[in-house]
Structure 1
Amino acid sequence: MNTKALKLAAVAATMLEDFSPTEWVPLPSLGLGIRVLVDDGQQQLVATAQTSLDRSADTGSAAEAGRIYDTMYPHAGFAWPHLRAITEVDADYFGTTASTTVTLIDPLPGAPVGDQAITDVARASSLAQALATLHSAAPETISEAGFPVEDPSRFQFQILERLDQAASTGQVPAALLQHWEEEFEKVALWRFLATPIHGAIDETSVYTDQERVLALSGIERLRVSDPAIDLAAASALIDPAAVPTFFSEYRNSRPRADEHVITRAELLAEFAVLDWLLEAVDSGDQDAIQDAGELLSSFNNVLFSKEASEPKGAPTETTVASSAPTATSSDQDSNPATDVPTEQPESDTGRTPEAESVIDEGTTEPDESAPPEDSQRP
Structure 2
Amino acid sequence: MNTKALKLAAVAATMLEGFSPTEWIPLPSLGLGIRVLLDDGQQQLVATAQTSLDRSADTGSAAEAARIYDAMYPHAGFTWPHLRAITEVEADYFGTSAPITVTLIEPLPGAPVSDQAIADVARASSLAQALATLHSAAPESISEAGFPVEDPSRFQFQILERLDQAAATGRVPADLLQHWEEEFEQVSLWRFLATPIHGAIDETSVYTDQERVLALSGIERLRVSDPAIDLAAASALIDPAAVPTFFSEYRNSRPRADEHVITRAELLAEFAVLDWLLEAVDSGDEEAIQDAGELLSSFNDVLFAKDTAEPSAAPPGPADADNDDATPGAVVLSEESESEPDAGLAAESENVIDEDTEPDETEPTDGIHRP
Q: TM-score surpassing 0.5?
A: yes
Equivalent residue, structure 1, for 2:319? 325
Partner of 1:207: 207
Give the CA deviation at 1:252: 0.1
Cα deviations across residues 119-148 of structure 1 (Å, max 9, x unaligned)? 000000000000000000000000000000
Contact preservation (8 Å) 1:23, 1:375: yes
CA distance in 2, matches of 1:164, 1:373: 56
Residue 58 of structure 1, CA deviation? 1.0
Aligned to 1:114: 114
Say which SS state the counterpart of residue 304 (structure 2) adopts. helix
Matches within 5 A, 1:243-322: 243-305=243-305, 310=309, 314-315=311-312, 317-318=313-314, 320=315, 322=316
Cα distance, 1:169 vs structure 2? 0.3
For residues 278 and 68 of structure 1, what CA distance do their matches in structure 2 show?
Answer: 34
Evaluate the alpha carbon distance shift between residue 307 and residue 212 of structure 1 in structure 2; reply closer, same or farther with a 3 A threshold: farther
CA distance in 2, matches of 1:279, 1:368: 30
* RCO higher in structure (CA 8 A, sep ≥6): 2
Q: How far, CA to CA, are the matches of 1:204 and 1:149 in structure 2? A: 24
Deviations 1:133-164 (A, max 9, x none): 00000000000000000000000000000000
Is the counterpart of residue 356 in structure 1 residue 345 in structure 2?
yes
What is the deviation of 1:295?
0.1
- For 2:76 and 2:122, the matched residues in 1 are separated by 17
CA distance in 1, matches of 2:90, 2:45: 22
Q: Which residue of 1 aligns with 2:367?
A: 374
The CA distance in 1 between the partners of 2:352 and 2:275, in whole Å, is 24
List alignment gaps of at least 5 residues for structure 2: 323-341
Which residue number corresponds to residue 224 of structure 2? 224
Moved more, 363-372 or 144-153: 363-372
TM-fit CA distance, 1:366: 2.4
Q: Cα offset for 1:28?
A: 0.3
Would you say 1:155 and 2:158 are equivalent positions? no
> How big is each residue's C-alpha offset from its partner over 1:79-118, in whole Å with a ceiling of 9 and x where there is no partner?
0000000111111100111111100000000000000210
The aligned amino acid for 1:355 is G
Deviation of residue 60 (structure 1)?
1.1
Q: Partner of 2:84: helix, strand, or coil?
A: strand
* Counterpart residue number, 1:18: 18
Distance between the aligned counterparts of 1:203 and 1:360, measured in 2? 18
- Cα distance, 1:359 vs. partner? 2.9
CA distance in 2, matches of 1:360, 1:235: 28
Q: Distance in 2 between matches of 1:255 and 1:184?
A: 24
Match of 1:349 in 2: none
Shift of 1:324: 2.9
CA deviation after TM superposition for structure 1 residue 57, in Å: 1.5
Aligned to 1:329: none
TM-score normalized by the length of structure 1: 0.89
Contact 1:197 1:225 in 2 (8 A): yes
Q: What CA distance in whole angstroms lies between the structure 2 residues aligned with 1:375 and 1:237?
A: 33
- How big is the shift at 1:49? 0.4
1:39-58 alpha-carbon deviations (Å, 9 max, x no partner): 00000000000011125121
2:331 is matched with: none
Structure 1: which 5+ residue stretches go unaligned?
327-331, 334-352
Q: Give yes or no for contact 1:47–1:102 (8 Å, CA) kept in 2.
A: yes
CA contact (8 A) 1:24 1:376 kept: yes
Question: Within 5 Å, which residues of 2 pair with 1:166-185?
Answer: 166-185=166-185
Q: Which residue of 1 aligns with 2:330?
A: none
* Other-structure match for 1:126: 126
The answer as to whether partners of 1:46 and 1:356 remain within 8 angstroms in 2 is no
| 2:74 alignment partner in structure 1 | 74
C-alpha separation in 1, matches of 2:185 and 2:353: 39
Partner of 1:146: 146
**1:145/1:372 CA distance change after superposition, 3 Å:** farther
Matched residues in 2 for 1:131 and 1:65: separation?
A: 16
Deviation for aligned residue 1:360: 5.1
What is the RMSD of the two structures over their aligned residues, measured on CA atoms? 2.0
Report the Cα distance in structure 1 between the residues aligned to 2:196 and 2:364, rounded to whole angstroms: 37
Distance in 2 of aligned mates of 1:365 and 1:272: 32
CA distance in 2, matches of 1:363, 1:230: 29
How many Å apart are 1:361 and its aligned residue?
5.2
Secondary structure, in 3 states, of the residue corresponding to 1:38? strand
Contact 1:195 1:227 in 2 (8 A): yes
CA deviation after TM superposition for structure 1 residue 278, in Å:
0.3
- For the 8 Å contact 2:2–2:355, the answer to whether it is kept is no
> What is the alpha-carbon distance in structure 1 between the residues aligned to residue 247 and residue 36 of structure 2?
36
In the superposition, the TM-score normalised over structure 2's length comes to 0.90
Question: Contact between 2:149 and 2:223, CA under 8 Å: does it hold in 1?
Answer: yes
CA distance in 1 between counterparts of 2:16 and 2:212 reads 33
Q: Secondary structure of 1:305's partner?
A: coil
Residue type at the aligned position of 1:324:
P
In structure 1, how many angstroms separate the alpha carbons of the residues matched to 2:144 and 2:34?
33
* Deviation digits for residues 318-360 of structure 1 (CA, Å, limit 9, x no counterpart): 3x1x24336xxxxx99xxxxxxxxxxxxxxxxxxx75233235
